[in-house]
Amino acid sequence: MENRFVMHLVLFGLLAGFVLTAYSWNKTAEANGGVVQAVNHIETENGQDGAAAPSGEEPAAATKKIALTFDDGPGKYTEKLLDGLKERNVKATFFVIGLNAESHRDTLKRAAEEGHLIGNHTYNHVRLIKMSVGDACTELRNTNELIFQITGQRPVYVRPPYGEWSDALSGSCYMTRVLWSIDPLDWSIHNTEQIVEHVVEHAKDGSIILLHDVFEESVDAALEIIDRLQQMGFTFVRIDQMGENPKIHVN
């Protein structure tokens, strides 16, 4: 898929080069007067055709959607992240652990108040498929109840720990499962630049980025990722603004 992106870049570059050349020929023709009138006419037409294509592609580039998701918080770096998101006017999705929500109530409340989407990452970071369906649903329901008490939002999205989920859980717990498409393993590498490079290299329309706001390197990386990807024409959205996506599974 990256090849396709590179192809587009190359084609765009060629096209832009052609338009510029056509434009300068046009200018030369104008300066030379009527002798080159016929040539001028042809080049102007080609220039117009050439100009139409990139301007037609620009809106598409501006609507490339991408989602930042943060697991395992809230934690002690979440406030720093919220400050950075606010500065950049970017909304994200937080899949919080119930236990951490208990100990960082104000942070979670702030995240919700500032327009971020709050999702469920279980109460104790458990492996849902290793439990009975009834216990798993109770774990999710208790977490939803806590999040509702703190934020007034009742979560509909769940990020199951380790991505472990089943059709039985979908059928019984009535939550929408959200996986991810870009995983820089931030929790393991703890290196801001490597996290940023991995995400920027793999970013495409519809990507869901997985990060953990309990690590400072991940928070720093997230803010740098936003700056880099916005320059590349990406718009950051919450999971509920993503539209249909293979990583988002509704029952």
Q: Interface with Ni ion by CB under 5 A: which residues?
A: 71-72, 161
Report, in Å, the least distance between residue 121 CB and Ni ion.
Answer: 6
Closest CB 71 distance from Ni ion, rounded Å: 4
Residue 12 carries which DSSP code?
H
CB of 246 to Ni ion, least distance (A): 21
Q: Which is nearer to Ni ion, 29 or 108 (CB)?
A: 108
Instruction: Please say which residue, 186 or 220, places its beta carbon nearer to Ni ion.
Output: 186
Tell me whether residue 26 or residue 177 sits nearer to Ni ion (CB atom): 177
Distances in whole angstroms, Cα of residue 99 to Cα of each of 24, 135, 148, 241? 65, 17, 14, 27
3-state secondary structure 135-153: HHHHHHHHHHHHHHHHHCC
Per residue, the 3-state secondary structure of 75-105, as one string, reads CCCHHHHHHHHHHHCCCCEEEECHHHHHHCH
Instruction: State the minimum distance, in angstroms, from the CB of residue 101 to Ni ion.
Output: 13
Q: Which residues are catalytic?
A: 71, 212
For Ni ion, the nearest residue by Cβ is 71
Q: Which residues, 6 or more positions from 247, have their beta carbon under 8 angstroms from its beta carbon? A: 178, 179, 180, 181, 208
Q: Is the CB of 29 or the CB of 210 nearer to Ni ion?
A: 210
The torsion defined by the Cα of 20, 26, 29 and 35, in degrees rounded to 10, comes to 130
